């Protein structure tokens, strides 16, 4: 979105504010389906955790996307947004058996990720087909916190435990209808995807009841101009051919599934903040804004880069700044950044704020979580109000002390 429109939204709805543009979500969705258009049965399941505002879910529902949910609350949000039960895939890890049962009763597709749960599930629900998350033992992902397919990761059932799976399947009569993996987030190296794919397909061959293969996600999006990104079109061509060839070998037309989060919504979001203070020090000029790691944790949590521009003075002379938050620790949005000259009260735009930004926000320092605005077909809508003081106290039980 252009600077003037963003400034107008900041003016209209207040600041700090998250702004999402559905046009971008739609074009990313179409890019994804085009990249795999040679696969006869393709399903895109949006990873709700990236941005779970119900209106974002509704937009994806209109595109005929499915959803990938990791908590019963995400499943309920998806139902609330109008998704059909058959389009809801539940891929949690380490949750209670009761939560798994609640999802099972709602009728969504269940993915199990440990032998122990498989055994319990098989004993009670042997008539309900399940998908298995395997751990292919492949190192992939932009950061150790989000690399989840390697041998030391808690996720999935190890490919070395296939015999264990088969024993349980035989004993309980459970039907395995899908095989799933997700190896990490921010993966730009196509080879990591392709290596993991071969391992995944080898696992599929171990069962003759498979109907779908879920490749997870992890596509790296660019965070600044010229940044590396997964070459989706190239990967789509290679993976589609391999998948189609595999289906022939397997003797069944399987459904290919992806569960993108970042790819669909990251670039559709902007986070607008206001400059409270410009603070030159002997070493650094700090820009202190009306936000912090409570609203956008990624730079602090993953050393993630989010591009920052001054939309109040886009043509100004560039200077070097550290953009920091107001939280009582060194919360930094960006160090050593070249930004057009910043004055107090300017509005800065933090880019790529559509994925894992609001959804990871908190009330740390007893701050309110900000409002969210959706720009859809040329109109803007408030889709979440800023919190207020009552919200902060809402679930607290005030004792008469």
Pairing of strands 308-310, 347-350: antiparallel
Q: Does 263 help bind ligand LLP (rule: CB under 6 A)?
A: yes
> Which residue number, 146 or 289, has a Cβ lying nearer to ligand LLP?
146
Least distance CB 214 / ligand LLP (angstroms): 8
Q: Does 51 help bind ligand LLP (rule: CB under 6 A)?
A: no
Least distance CB 353 / ligand LLP (angstroms): 11
Least distance CB 173 / ligand LLP (angstroms): 27
**How many other C-beta atoms can be found within 10 angstroms of the C-beta atom of residue 9?**
21
What's the rounded Cα separation, in Å, for the pair 247 and 237? Answer: 16
Least distance CB 18 / ligand LLP (angstroms): 15
What's the rounded Cα separation, in Å, for the pair 258 and 183? Answer: 12
> Which residue number, 15 or 185, has a Cβ lying nearer to ligand LLP?
185
DSSP, collapsed to helix, strand or coil, labels residue 340 as strand
DSSP state letter for 67? E
Q: Which token pair is 43?
A: 């399903």
* Site size for ligand LLP (CB under 6 A): 20
Q: Which token pair is 148?
A: 């989840």
Q: Which token pair is 302?
A: 């993953």
Kindly report the backbone phi and psi dihedral angles of residue 256, in degrees, each rounded to the nearest multiple of 5, phi listed first: -100, 130
Q: Does 358 help bind ligand LLP (rule: CB under 6 A)?
A: no
Subset of 175-194 contacting ligand LLP (CB under 6 A): 182, 185
Give every CB contact of residue 347 below 8 A, 6+ residues apart in sequence: 6, 7, 10, 15, 272, 273, 274, 275, 310, 311, 312
H helix or E strand, kind and range, residue 334: strand 332-340
Q: Which of 117, 87, 119, 121 is nearest to 104 (CA)?
A: 121
Q: Which of 34, 29, 21 is nearest to 60 (CA)?
A: 29
Subset of 360-379 contacting ligand LLP (CB under 6 A): none
> Which residue number, 260 or 325, has a Cβ lying nearer to ligand LLP?
260
Q: Does 50 help bind ligand LLP (rule: CB under 6 A)?
A: yes
Q: Which of 387, 367, 338, 370 is nearest to 270 (CA)?
A: 370
Listed in order, strand segments (DSSP E) in 136-284 are 157-158, 176-180, 212-214, 255-258, 269-280
> Which residue number, 91 or 310, has a Cβ lying nearer to ligand LLP?
91
Least distance CB 382 / ligand LLP (angstroms): 25
Least distance CB 244 / ligand LLP (angstroms): 23
What ranges in 66-137 are assigned the alpha helix state H? 72-80, 97-106, 115-124
Subset of 196-255 contacting ligand LLP (CB under 6 A): 216-219
DSSP state letter for 182? -
From 125, 250, 286, 302, residue interacting with ligand LLP (rule: CB under 6 A)? 302
Of the residues 69, 131, 247, 328, which is catalytic? 328
Active site annotation includes 357: no
**How many other C-beta atoms can be found within 10 angstroms of the C-beta atom of residue 40?**
13
> Which residue number, 29 or 356, has a Cβ lying nearer to ligand LLP?
356
335: left (phi over 0), alpha (psi -120 to 50) or beta: beta
From 28, 53, 68, 372, residue interacting with ligand LLP (rule: CB under 6 A)? 68
Subset of 155-174 contacting ligand LLP (CB under 6 A): none
> Which residue number, 103 or 355, has a Cβ lying nearer to ligand LLP?
355
**Candidates 6-14, 192-200, 257-265, 375-383; binding stretch for ligand LLP (CB under 6 A):** 257-265
**Candidates 81-89, 159-167, 256-264, 308-316; binding stretch for ligand LLP (CB under 6 A):** 256-264
Least distance CB 220 / ligand LLP (angstroms): 8
Q: Does 259 help bind ligand LLP (rule: CB under 6 A)?
A: yes
What's the rounded Cα separation, in Å, for the pair 332 and 330? Answer: 6
What's the rounded Cα separation, in Å, for the pair 44 and 159? Answer: 25
> Which residue number, 16 or 92, has a Cβ lying nearer to ligand LLP?
92
Which residues are catalytic, by number? Answer: 328
Residues that bind ligand LLP (CB under 6 A): 47, 50, 68, 91, 146, 182, 185, 216-219, 259-263, 298, 302, 355-356
């Amino acid at each position: 979105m252009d600077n003037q429109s963003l400034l107008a939204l900041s003016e209209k709805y207040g600041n700090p504010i998250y702004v999402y543009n559905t046009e971008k979500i739609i074009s990313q969705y179409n890019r994804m389906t085009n990249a795999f258009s040679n696969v006869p049965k393709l399903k895109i399941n949006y990873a709700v955790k990236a941005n779970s505002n119900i209106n974002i879910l509704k937009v994806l529902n209109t595109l005929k996307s499915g959803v990938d949910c990791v908590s019963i609350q995400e499943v309920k949000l998806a139902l609330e947004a109008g998704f059909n039960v058959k389009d809801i895939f539940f891929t949690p890890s380490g949750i209670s058996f009761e939560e798994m049962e609640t999802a099972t009763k709602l009728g969504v597709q269940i993915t199990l990720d440990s032998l122990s749960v498989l055994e319990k599930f098989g004993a009670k629900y042997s008539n309900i087909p399940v998908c298995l998350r395997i751990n292919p033992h492949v190192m992939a992902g932009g950061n150790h916190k989000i690399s989840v397919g390697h041998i030391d990761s808690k996720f999935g059932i190890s490919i070395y435990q296939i015999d264990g799976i088969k024993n349980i399947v035989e004993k309980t009569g459970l039907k395995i209808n899908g095989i799933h993996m997700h190896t990490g987030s921010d993966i730009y190296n196509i080879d990591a995807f392709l290596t993991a794919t071969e391992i995944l397909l080898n696992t599929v061959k171990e069962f003759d009841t498979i109907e779908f293969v879920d490749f997870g996600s992890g596509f790296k999006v660019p965070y600044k101009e010229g940044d590396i990104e997964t070459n989706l079109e190239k990967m789509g061509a290679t993976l589609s051919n391999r998948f189609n060839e595999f289906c022939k070998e397997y003797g069944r037309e399987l459904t290919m599934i992806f569960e993108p989060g970042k790819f669909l919504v990251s670039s559709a979001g902007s986070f607008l903040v206001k400059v409270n203070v410009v603070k030159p020090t002997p070493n650094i000029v700090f820009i202190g804004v009306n936000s912090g790691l409570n609203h956008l944790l990624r730079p602090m949590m993953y050393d993630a880069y989010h591009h920052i521009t001054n939309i109040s003075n886009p043509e100004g002379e560039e200077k070097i700044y550290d953009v920091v938050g107001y939280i009582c620790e060194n919360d930094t949005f960006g160090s050593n950044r070249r930004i057009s000259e910043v004055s107090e009260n300017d509005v800065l735009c933090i880019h790529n704020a559509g994925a894992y930004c609001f959804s990871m926000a908190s009330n740390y320092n007893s701050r309110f979580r900000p409002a969210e605005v959706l720009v859809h077909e040329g109109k803007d809508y408030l889709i979440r109000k800023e919190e207020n003081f009552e919200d902060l106290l809402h679930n607290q039980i005030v004792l008469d002390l």
